[in-house]
């Protein structure tokens, strides 16, 4: 994990300004030294990572800090933000992003981010856990940034070819 923070910072700066106009924001739990911490994450309508942040608290101040950081990376204010309806989001969105942003609170509309949490959870569960908050921050940021970088670039509703066809295209390109 020595070079992971450097790589994550480099990938984060390359990603600046590439977020869509509709965000899905949610948090998930990560255990650090036996205590649950909150990993705030946001993706856009195409599944592109907007930002992620580990916080010790799940309150309005943490939500505001996360939205400010996400706004810096995105480079623009989204048209709408979908959350799970936690009471801290509505005020944080109004104060950070402005009144003109449409805030949708519905647990079913936010399934996209809930499913996106699965990737970090699947990687995190086999691990013995994190000893410090700093190591958890390093891991979560590096994991999200690298996963975003290597993610298949497909837009919504675009057909994805079957795996056998993808393998044929890959081998026809001169790769073994």
Tens of pLDDT, residues 135-144: 888 888 888 8
Tens of pLDDT, residues 71-95: 999 999 999 999 988 889 999 999 9
- In this prediction, residue 157 has a pLDDT band, given cuts at 50, 70 and 90, of low
Query: Whole-prediction pTM value?
Result: 0.79
Higher pLDDT residue, 61 or 110? 61
pLDDT at 59: 92
pLDDT averaged over the chain?
85
Structural domains of the chain sorted by starting position, each given as residue range(s) with its CATH number in brackets:
4-172 (3.30.420.10)
Alpha helices in the chain (DSSP H): 4-15, 60-74, 87-97, 111-124, 133-150, 163-172
**Block residue for tokens 């837009």:** 155
Q: Is residue 60 a contact partner of residue 92, using CB atoms and an 8 Å limit?
A: yes
Higher pLDDT residue, 17 or 169? 17
Q: Is residue 96 a contact partner of residue 40, using CB atoms and an 8 Å limit?
A: no
How many Å apart are CA 17 and CA 80, to the nearest integer? 17
Least confident of 34-48, 75-89, 152-166: 152-166
Higher pLDDT residue, 120 or 57? 57
pLDDT at 155: 56
- Residue 33 Ramachandran class (φ > 0 left, ψ -120 to 50 alpha, else beta): left
HSE value, Cβ hemisphere, 13 Å, CA-based, for 166: 6
Residue 7 has pLDDT above 90, yes or no: no
- In this prediction, residue 176 has a pLDDT band, given cuts at 50, 70 and 90, of very low
Tens of pLDDT, residues 47-61: 888 999 999 999 999
């Amino acid at each position: 994990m020595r070079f992971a923070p450097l790589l994550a910072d480099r990938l984060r700066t390359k990603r600046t300004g590439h977020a869509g106009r509709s965000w899905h924001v949610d948090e998930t739990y990560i255990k650090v030294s036996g205590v649950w911490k909150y990993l705030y994450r946001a993706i856009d309508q195409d599944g592109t990572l907007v930002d992620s942040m580990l916080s010790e608290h799940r309150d309005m101040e943490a939500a505001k800090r996360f939205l400010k950081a996400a706004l810096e990376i995105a480079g623009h204010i989204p048209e709408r933000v979908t959350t799970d309806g936690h009471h801290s989001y509505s005020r944080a969105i109004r104060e950070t992003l402005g009144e003109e942003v449409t805030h949708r609170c519905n647990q079913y509309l936010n399934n996209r981010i809930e499913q996106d949490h699965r990737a970090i959870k699947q990687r995190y569960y086999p691990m013995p856990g994190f000893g410090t908050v700093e190591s958890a921050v390093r891991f979560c940021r590096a994991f999200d940034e690298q996963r975003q970088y290597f993610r298949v670039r497909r837009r919504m509703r675009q057909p994805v070819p079957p795996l056998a066809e993808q393998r044929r295209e890959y081998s026809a390109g001169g790769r073994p």
